[in-house]
Structure 1
Amino acid sequence: MPDLDLVAQALARNVRQFRTERALTLDALAARAGVSRGMLIQIEQARTNPSVGTVVRVADALGVSLARLLDYDQGPVVRLVPQEEAVTLWSTPQGSAAVLLAGVESPGPLELWHWSIRPGEGHDSDAHPAGATEIVRVDAGELLLVVDGVEHSVPAGTTVTYDAARPHGYRNPGTETARLTMVVSVPLPPG
C-alpha cells in the first residue's frame, strides 16, 4: 500500500494542476463539485484526509478518474500497477475495503476496483454525473445493491450494470465476505 502522505501530496498536486488547466477558480470548482472552498484549499495544501465521497465529487467535477487524481507516479504508455501500489479509499476496522486498482481517461474516466465487504457492512455512494455507469461482478458472497432506494440481490457469479447517476449503495447481507470487481465509467463534463 502506498504511503498516505505520498497519496495526499499527489492529490494536492493533481487537484491544483487539473483545476488550473481547466481555468477553474477554487469557488468554481467548489460549486461544480459540491464541496466547500475551504475543503478544496485543505486538499490542495495536503492538510486533510478527505472522505471518499469528497474525492469522487472533485474527480467528477474535474472530469478525471480517481486513479488519475491520486496518481503519484505519472508514467509511460504502459503502466503496471503492483498490488502494493493500489490505493485503498474506503475501509472499516472489520476488514471491508474498496481498492482502486487502475484507471484511465479515454474517452472519459474509467476505473477498475476490487471491493471486499464483510458480513453486515455496507457503503453508500452519492450519485455520479449524468451518464455514469457501473458494472459489478460478485466474485464471492452476496451483494445487496441499492439503487435509488430499490434493493437488488446479486449472488456470487452474477454481473450487474446500473445507472450510477443515481444514489446507490452496497451491502453484504450474507455470512461470508462479499468480494466484488467493479468498473466505473464517468462521462467527461460538458464544455
Structure 2
Amino acid sequence: MADLDQLTQHLARNVKRWRSERGFTLDGLAARAGVSRGMLIQIEQARTNPSIGTVVKIADAMGVSITTLLDYEQGPLVRVVPPEGAVRLWSTEAGSYNVLLAGTEAPGPLEMWDWHLMPGEHSASDPHPEGTAELLHVTAGVLTLVVDGVEHRVPSGSSACFEGSAAHAYRNDGDEPVRMTMAVSVPGVR
C-alpha cells in the first residue's frame, strides 16, 4: 500500500492540476462536487486526508478516476501497478476494506477494485454521474447488492452489473466474509 503522506501530497497536486485544466474555480468545483470550498483548500494544500466519499465526489465532478487523483505520474501506454501501488481507501475495525487496484482515463475514468466485506458490514455509495456503469464479481461469500432500494443476492461465482447513477450499497448479511472484484466506468466530463 502507498504511504498516506505521499497519497495526500499526490491528491493535493492532482486536484489542483485537474481543477485548473477543467477551468473550475474553487467555488465552482465545490458546488459541482457537493463539498465545501474549505475542504478543497485543505486538500489542495495537503492539510487533510479526506474520506473516500469526498474523493469520489471530487473525481466525479471533474470527470476523472480516483486513480488519476491519487496517481503520482501519468506513464506510458502500459502501466503495471505493483501490489504496493494499490490504494486502500476504506476500511473498518472489523476487517472490511476496499482497494483501488488500477484505473485509466480512456474514454472516461475506468477503475478496478478489490473489496472485502466482513459479516454484518456494509458500504453505501451516493449516486455517480449519469452513464456510470458498475460490474462486480463475487469470489467468496454472498453479497447483498442494494440498488435504488432494491436488494439483489449475488452469491460466490456470480456477477452483477448496474447503473451507478442510482443510490447503491454493498452489504454482507451472511456469516462469512464477502470478497469481490469490481470495475467502475464513469463517463468523461462533457
Distance in 1 (alpha carbons) for counterparts of 2:175 and 2:72: 37
Deviation, 1:83, is 0.9
Instruction: Encode CA deviations 1:117-168: one digit per residue, 9 max, x unaligned.
Output: 0011010000000010100100110100011111111100110000100110
Gaps of 5+ in 1: none
Residue identity in the other structure for 1:118: M
Q: Which residue does the alignment assign to 1:18?
A: 18
Normalised by the length of structure 2, the TM-score is 0.98
1:127-166 superposed matches below 5 A: 127-166=127-166
Shift of 1:74: 3.1
Q: Which amino acid aligns with 2:144?
A: L
Q: CA deviation at 1:100?
A: 0.1
Structure 2 residue aligned with 1:77: 77
Instruction: Write the deviation string for residues 7-30 of structure 1: whole angstroms up to 9, x where unpaired.
Output: 000000000000011111000101
Give structure 2 stretches of 5+ with no counterpart. Answer: none
Question: Structure 2: which amino acid aligns with 1:34?
Answer: G
Paired residues in the alignment total: 190
- The CA distance in 2 between the partners of 1:185 and 1:179, in whole Å, is 20
Query: Partners of 1:43 and 1:149 in 2: how far apart?
Result: 33
Number of the residue aligned with 1:44: 44
For residue 32 of structure 2, what is the aligned residue in structure 1? 32
Q: Structure 1 length normalisation: TM-score?
A: 0.97
Aligned AA (1:36): S
Which residue of 2 is the match for residue 178 of structure 1?
178
- Cα offset for 1:176? 1.0
Q: After the TM superposition, which residues 96-135 of structure 1 pair with which residues of structure 2 at under 5 Å, given as runs?
A: 96-135=96-135
RMSD value over aligned CA atoms?
0.8
- Percent of matched pairs sharing the same residue: 63
Distance 2:129 2:57 in 1: 9
Separation in 2, partners of 1:17, 1:73:
12
Please list every run of at least 4 consecutive aligned residues from structure 1 whose deviation after the TM superposition is greater than 6 angstroms. none
- How far residue 59 of structure 1 moved from its aligned partner, in angstroms, is 0.3
CA shift for structure 1 position 78? 1.3
